[in-house]
Amino acid sequence: MTLENNIQALVKKIEQESLAYDYVFISLGVPDRKAQVSLFKNRRHLDRDIHKYCQKFRSKVGKFPEWIKVDIVTETEPVLFDDVAEELVRTRRNYIDFGIALDKNWYLTFLPEEINANAFIRPEKGTSNMYLSEDNINNYLKKYTGHRRKFSIAAYKGETVTKFYTQGFVFDGDGIYRLHNKGYQKNLRQIEDLNVEMDRLIAHSTTFLEGMLQEDGRYIYGYFPHFDKTINFYNMLRHSSSTYSLVEGLSYLGKDLKPVERAIEYIIKHYIATDETGAQFVFDDTKDVNEIKLGQNAAFIFAVCEYLKHGGQNTSYLKYAQSVAEGILKMIDPTTGETVHILNYPDFSVKEKYRIVYYDGEAALGLLRLYQQDHDERWLKTVQTLFEHFIKNDYWKYHDHWLGYCTNELVQVTPHEKYFRFGINNVSSYLDYMKQRETTFPTFLEMLMATYHLVEKAKASGYQYLVDELLDEEKFLDTIHTRADYERTGFFYPEIAMYFKNPSRILNSFFIKHHGYRVRIDDIEHYLSGYVQYQHVFKK
């Protein structure tokens, strides 16, 4: 279709809404630059306005826009600037769903997308306190708009400004979508078939994650996209766990697992240490921290086992997983199941007995996945000892997705009532919180899906009474579907990415909005794993 036809189709979609409006914002975007935004005050010739604006865009940029977003102003409210400034700071970071016109002629206006994507609200250095950043606002005005006057908070104190809401529509180069207009889902495209959409997201995010894997087997760790900054840190645990989900994504799409070998071999070549007994450990030297994490060893094992489970050809990796499992056994008390979380590298002395609860669940999952590969009873016995410790100490109260995964794996091997009870308790008291949580929290879907399999196994193993006692199944399923759809608010669709400094860097990835729209390999990992698990069960 020609640009003319696409504009006509977009305007037709808007006209079907029969919205009464005066003001319209048009945002035009291409992958290699931040979107241009303009306000139009004549509502009678929308198609003509869009077309003229696209021509103007081409003369400036050298090409027509790939993305056209139209925001119809549907509600306005006069408010004191001081009140709206306080609301901006008080709202969860990057969750602003309203725009602001700072003068009665709407000369200086900001869409919510501009406010969020340009970090107008940011944390004070070294704290979690938020403030309205004059520097970031003026940086945006100077570099990306035609405004030449500097913005200052002092100039608006005591003044009345206009708070407004919009109804958005987007042409993304392929199709036209109506966007959610308010609340936590503001700007999220409305779709007809979640399963079809999820397959698109899995394909896009798998490709993105694979693209983060460099030739030497190390990942580009991630980006802070407000100002197109690369994250200059690394974490070997997340390297391994992200590799695990890359296997899941590639396998789901029926693609070759060859790229995964680079990631596994990177650890084998550079980050495995051997003690005097021959046991091996994965260490981390990021910023000279020089330590061995229990969870990091486990993540390496389950990445290797996932690769082998899905037909990976290099079976030599198994012996490394087994040697690292020997190292894990040295970090677990064989009698009590208590763990040591951190060792010093290179002397293998104890650094920290405890750091974070997730390491224990990861250790159990790693050993169980290895048991499924080589059937060495030592791994299973250790996991059962760990579980006695978990059950005795009510670990279900941590609502840990890794514990969800490994409980589900354990009941496939030893379907005991106590394990089912533990696994169901891990989610049953948490459903309301998960369903209503405003951040995407992608590990929720992973935990819910692992528990779904556990519940089905419980019913097949004669424990229906346990399910009836501990779980509201209807609410449980509703929570799964709610989270699956809501997680799309963490995907960089064009209509979100276009407002950032370099859309092409982040397009089709997943992000964590309240951490500055952070895109990191392990963030993508959790979204991707959850969606693959969901599709395996619920894809029509």
Please check the confidence at residue 44 and state whether its pLDDT lies above 80: no
Alpha helices by DSSP H, listed for 375-416, are 377-392, 401-413
CA-to-CA separations, 336 to 35, 112, 383, in angstroms, rounded = 58, 54, 11
Contact 333, 397 (CB under 8 A): no
Q: Do residue 506 and residue 475 come from a single domain?
A: yes
**DSSP secondary structure letters along 41-73:** --GGGHHHHHHHHHHHHHHHHSS--SEEEEEEE
Of 185, 219, 239, the position where a domain reaches its end is 185
270 and 343 together in one domain:
yes
The yes-or-no verdict on residue 182 having pLDDT over 70 is yes
Domain boundary among 133, 163, 185: 185
Question: Stretch 60-80: mean pLDDT, rounded?
Answer: 97
Helix, strand or coil for residue 78? strand
Assess whether 106 and 200 both reside in one domain: no
325: CATH: 1.50.10.10
Q: How far apart are CA 212 and CA 231, in angstroms?
A: 12
Q: Where are the beta strands (DSSP E) in 148-277?
A: 160-171, 176-178, 222-224, 229-230, 272-274
317 touches 268 (CB < 8 A): yes
342 and 474 both lie in a single domain: yes
Residues 277 and 167 both lie in one domain = no
CA distance linking residue 36 with residue 46, whole number of Å = 17
Q: Are residues 351 and 492 in the same domain?
A: yes
Nearest by Cα to 37 from 56, 62, 9:
56
Residue 431: the pLDDT is 97
1 pLDDT band, cuts 50/70/90, is low
**Last residue within a domain, chosen from 185, 209, 243:** 185
Mind giving me the DSSP string for 235-257?
-HHHHHHHHHHHHHHHHHTT---
Q: What mean pLDDT do residues 251-276 have?
A: 98
Per the structure, the complete domain to which residue 435 belongs is given by 194-538
CA distance 387 to 391: 6
Q: Is 277 exposed, middle or buried (0-12, 13-18, 19+ CB in 10 A)?
A: exposed
Number of domains observed in the structure of the chain: 2
Secondary structure (3-state) at 29: strand
C-alpha 115/C-alpha 98 separation (Å) is: 9
Distance (Å, whole) CA 247 – CA 306: 7
pLDDT at 186 over 90: yes
User: Can you tell me the distance from the alpha carbon of 363 to that of 369, in angstroms, rounded to the nearest whole number?
Assistant: 10
Model confidence pLDDT, tens digit, residues 115-169 = 999 999 999 998 889 999 999 999 999 999 989 899 999 999 999 999 999 999 9
Pair (16, 103) in one structural domain: yes
Residue 230 and residue 169 in one domain: no
235 and 177 part of one domain: no
- Per-residue pLDDT reduced to its tens digit, 357-404: 999 999 999 999 999 999 999 999 999 999 999 999 999 999 999 999
Helix (H, G, I), strand (E, B) or coil at 367: helix
Peptide bond into 346 cis (omega under 30): yes
CB burial of 199-210 (b: ≥16 within 10 Å; e: otherwise) equals bebbebbbebbb
What's the pTM? 0.96
Phi-psi region of 278 (alpha: psi -120 to 50; beta: other; left: phi over 0): left
Whether 99 and 237 share a structural domain:
no
Model pLDDT, residue 17? 87
Whether residue 198 is found in the same domain as residue 177: no
277 and 359 share one domain: yes
